[in-house]
Amino acid sequence: MWKQLLVTVGTGVLIFSGTSAVSADQLTPQDLVKATKSLQQTEQRLHTSKQSVAKAKRRAEAVEAKKNAIQKKIDRANAQLASYETALNPETDDPSLFKQVLSTVLPSAKAEAAASEKTEADLKEKQAATTRSLEKLENEQAKVDAEHKKARSTHSAAYKQLKHRAAELKDLKRQTAALAPEKFMMPATGRLSQGYGAASGQFGYTFHNGLDIAANVGTPIYAAAAGTVTDVKSGGPYGKHVFIEHEIDGQKWTTVYAHMHKIEVKKGQALLQGEGIGQIGNTGNSSGPHLHFEVHKGEYAYSSSSAGNTVNPMDVAEVLGGASPIKATY
């Protein structure tokens, strides 16, 4: 079975295909971990892009509001100038013209004309002040227009990057799904020395609730799926062994790795699928170096005479790359 292999390069991902395709049996746990980390990094970049878009949008909206407020001030200033212009330049048939003529012959009219002149002077002063204010507003408007243009450009660029990140993430998810096993991957390479089911009772159990994968001492063991180490033990029938809890599609699972030579993880440690957890060994009740691997649907619950809540790993675990589950050999 042939698969495409994801190879991270910088912040991007290259897909080897065609003549450069890599067969499933050439994929390694390290490839899977790199692909998963690349996916996580892209998810983080997408989150950052969403924040950038939101920030740029808020900025553009704030500048837009500022721009509208300045325009309202400019409109009010223009309206005020128009009213001053009307007051200072009345129509010729305005009664004030008659008063100006009358003021040349009557003292009372002269006083009224003087008051009118003061009013006109006040209007002209206000007109000049409003004109200066309008000039400042227009200068400020030019700056805000430039700021608004920049804010919109920043928002547009951020949104474009967001769409790119979203497309990249979608593609990575699709490719990683094609690369990774559907649920669990077989945690070690070796020979299937004992299957799941009825047992002889040699070590005190009549039902073997896992798989035994025989291999040389020191052969790497990998996490069958992403999860958290819930316990690490070094004695008893299992010898050195590790429990990992997983959540897949809302279902809790627990995997067990027993008879280990070396344990390389700690309780509480979070793991990606394919990350190393230790080495195959011959500790505990073991007749030769091998990994005893169990898959429990739910929490760990051992039974020496029945399957309990275990499932046959052959039904849920695949060789990395999506190939068929192990049969005679891995």
Which of 58-67, 133-142, 314-323 shows the lowest per-residue confidence on average (mean pLDDT)? 314-323
Q: What is this structure's pTM?
A: 0.68
Ordered DSSP codes for 223-277: -SSSEEEEEEE--STT-EEEEEEEEETTEEEEEEEEEEEEE---TT-EE-TT-EE
Give the pLDDT confidence of 116-129 residue by residue, as tens digits.
Answer: 778 888 888 988 99
Token couple for 66? 């500022």
Are 281 and 45 contacting, i.e. CB atoms less than 8 angstroms apart?
Answer: no
Q: For the purposes of burial, counting CB atoms within 10 Å of the CB of 269, is it exposed (0-12), middle (13-18) or buried (19 or more)? A: middle
Q: How far is Cα 251 from Cα 246, in angstroms, rounded to an integer?
A: 8
The phi, psi pair for 246, rounded to 5°, reads -130, 155
Q: Is 141 helix (H, G, I), strand (E, B) or coil?
A: helix
What share of the chain in percent tops pLDDT 90? Answer: 58
Q: How far is Cα 225 from Cα 239, in angstroms, rounded to an integer?
A: 22
